[in-house]
Structures are given as C-alpha cells and as structure tokens.
A and B are shown apart, each in its own frame.
Chain A
Amino acid sequence: MRKLCLATVVLATACGGAAVPQETLTAAKAAVAGAEVAGASSEPKAALHLKLAKEQLGKAEKLIADGDNEEASREIDRAQADADLAFSLAKEATAKKEASDTQEQLDRLKQHSK
C-alpha cells in the first residue's frame, strides 16, 4: 500500500518536469541493434537479455507517450544494461566457439601427422 502511494506521489510530481530522454533512448536502441548484429538471438542467455532490453524499451516508449519521462529514463537505463550484457554474452560465445574450432583443427592436424 505504501508503495502504491509513493508511486502515485512520484507520478504526480514527474508530470511537471523531466524532458524526453531522447538521447539515452537512441543509444539504448543502438545497443540493442548492436547485440543483434553480434548474434545475441542465437545464444540463449544473450537472447534472454536482448528480449528484456526490448521489452524495457517498449515500456519506456509507452511511458514517454504517457508523459512519464523520469520512469521512462530508468527503463531505458535498464534496457541499455541488458543490451550491453546481451552483446557481451554473444561476443563471449563467438570467441569461445572460435577458440574451440581452432583447437579442433589443431587436434585434427596432430591426429593427421601422427
């Protein structure tokens, strides 16, 4: 109950002030796109965070439309973090795969030259 009241208060004050967080929104969208290009969709854990980032961005856009820029800004910050994580996880998976592929090639070469 207390939470609800607090939220109402925050909402009531937010309507007045903060500007549309256009800059961070654009950056977070770019981060989502970057994670997708890095292959986040094909790596389960990365895909999860990519999905969270997109959901949060959707929420943020809705909040902006409703005029709640402050809460939108926080959703955008979360989305940015999740997109960054999706990117890192995708890159990690790629690097691990490359390393194991190379290892496999090495093993085959050693097998061959025995």
Chain B
Amino acid sequence: MNRSFKIGWLLAVQALVGCSTPLPPQELLQARSAYNAASKSQANQLAPAQLDTAKQALEKAEGSFKENGDEPVTKDLAYIANVRAQIAVAEAGREQASRNKVKVDHDFRNSQLDALDSSKTALEAEKKARAEAEKARKAAEASLKEIAAIKEESRGVVITLSGAVLFATGKSTLLPIAQEKLTEVAKAIGDQGNYKSLLVEGHTDSQGSADKNQLLSQQRAQAVRSYLITQGIPSDKIRAEGIGSSRPVADNGTAEGRANNRRVEIVVEPNR
C-alpha cells in the first residue's frame, strides 16, 4: 500500500461518516461522570483547587472531542480528566481525615485533662476518707477512756477494766453493768477495726490459793471473751488467758492495791 492510496482511502471513509458527529468515546463519558460525581462531593469544599484542575482537564478533553472527534488524543485527554477527578476526590478524603485527626487529637488532650482531674478528685476523696477514719479512731479511743484505762504498750493498746465493775467477788459471771461496758468496748474496737487479734487476760489479787486464782482468772477471761464474741468480735481473732496473781500492777498489801490488781486486760494486738 502506498501512501497516496492510504490518504485517498481515508478521505473516502471520512466523506462517508464525516457528516454525522461521532459519538463521544467511552473515556470521555467516564470522565464526565467522574467529574460530575466529584463536583457534587465534599471535594467542593475540601479540595477546590484539585476540583478546578479536574474541570480544566475535562474542558480540554471536550475541546479535543469537538475539534478532533474520538481520536486517541481525545481519549488520552479524557482519561487524564477522569484521573484528575479521582485525585480531587482522594484529596478531599485526605483533607477530611486530617481534619478528623485534628479534632480527635483535641478531644484526646481534653480527655487526658479530664482523667487528670478525676484522679485528683479520687486522691482527695481518699485523703478525706483517711482523715475521717483517723477521726473515728480517736473518737473510739476517747469513748473507751471514759469506761476503761487505756495504755499503749509494746504488745499493743491495753484496755484495763476493773474486776469490781465486771464480776461479783469470787464469781466469773458478768454483772449487768459489765455487759454494758463491754458492749461499748466491743463497739470501740470494732470501729477502729485495724488490729490483728485480741487477747483477753484475767488477773487476780494474791489472796487465796494460786491454783484457785489461776482458775478464776481463766474463767473470767473466758467470760469476757465469750461476751465480746456475742458483740461481733470474730471468734478466731480473740483469745482468753488466765494469768492468776502472777502479774500485779499494785501493792497486794492494801485494799486499794488489791482492787487494782483484780482486773481484766484486753490487749489489742496491732497489725505488723
């Protein structure tokens, strides 16, 4: 085929089809619809520059279509316009995401501050609770002082109740007034709460036989222990021991001294 034949043939074909406008190529149709979609999307607000670029690309493709019909150059320009429209959409998506991130970052910082605040509040509540517990402990101690002698020893806080208040002479049955006092003692100990165990010790004066005194002191300590258990002290936390007359605190030679020696001591053994 020589060249002049080709051109002649081409002219003949164009004469046949040339009058009717060619249909827009697939690429141009796709570019139009891609641009149409992009111009209705958030790209309008979020990527206006890229959307404008896409618009210009489409106009260029349309211009080429008018001028050259569906030649490859038109298809290429339409292809590019289609891609430019997609770029506008992607850039809008990117901008939206980065705006979201800025907002979430902001929320994150605020939440951190809130968390800090609430942990401060929690700390203050704990401080207050501790102060109240300390106050309750002091109040319990003070009310105990009114009914019994309190002293601190290395083995713990020792609550001393006079034997005369608790028992009739020679007996190991609690007097009604003793029950009242022990109820308060149990309450005070319960309020304070913080102890490992309780030891109830019975003590007598030196009158009478040592065996008898030992037995009596044991029975009295038992009686106090049993009563405290009825008042809510856990039985596994409280022991009773008879000491007899072996640990006097006063002179057994005087009536007053002997009265002081007849006693029950409740040792509150602390947590170590």
In the complex, chain B residues whose CB is within 8 Å of the CB of A91 = 90, 94
Q: Are A95 and B91 in contact (CB under 8 A)?
A: no
Number of interface residues of A (CB under 8 A): 35
Contact of A95 among B97, B104, B112, B115 (CB under 8 A): B97
Question: In the complex the two chains form, is B104's CB within 8 Å of A88's CB?
Answer: no
Cβ of B76: which chain A residues have Cβ within 8 Å of it?
74-75, 77-78
Q: Which residues of B contact A10 (CB under 8 A)?
A: 72
**CA A109 – CA B115 in complex, angstroms?**
8
- Pick the contact of A109: B83, B91, B101, B112 (CB < 8 A): B112
Contact residues in B for A113 (Cβ distance below 8 Å): 111, 114-115, 118
Majority DSSP secondary structure for residues of A touching B: helix
Is B86 a contact of A85 with CB atoms below 8 Å? yes
Check: B6 CB closer than 8 A to any chain A CB.
yes
Main secondary structure of the interface of B (DSSP, over half): helix
Question: Complex: how many Å from CA A112 to CA B116?
Answer: 12
Quote the shortest CB–CB distance from A110 to chain B (angstroms).
6
Judged by a CB distance under 8 angstroms, whether A96 is at the interface is: yes
Is the C-beta of B259 less than 8 angstroms from some C-beta in chain A? no
Contact A84 B17 (CB under 8 A): no
Verify if A89 is at the interface (C-beta below 8 Å from B): yes
Contact across chains for B83 and A85 when beta carbons are under 8 A apart: yes
> In whole angstroms, what is the CA distance A109 to B182 when docked?
52
Please give the distance in Å from B35's CB to the nearest CB on chain A.
13
Question: Could you tell me which residues of chain A, from 47 to 74, have a CB within 8 Å of some CB in chain B?
Answer: 49, 71, 74
Report whether A89 and B105 are in contact in the complex, using a CB–CB cutoff of 8 Å. no
Please judge, given known A-B contacts A6-B71, A106-B108, whether A78 and B98 are in contact too, CB under 8 Å.
no
Chain A residues near B112 (CB, 8 Å)?
109
Question: Which chain B residue shows the least CB distance to A96?
Answer: B97
Q: Which residues of B contact A20 (CB under 8 A)?
A: none
Interfacial chain B residues near A81, Cβ < 8 Å: 57, 79-80, 83-84, 87
Which of A5, A82, A95, A99 has a CB less than 8 Å from the CB of B10? Answer: A5
| A interface footprint on B92-127 (CB within 8 Å = 1, 0 otherwise) | 011001101100110110011011001000000000
| A contact set with B: CB distance below 8 Å | 1-2, 5-10, 12, 49, 71, 74-75, 77-78, 81-82, 84-85, 88-89, 91-92, 95-96, 98-99, 102-103, 105-106, 109-110, 112-113
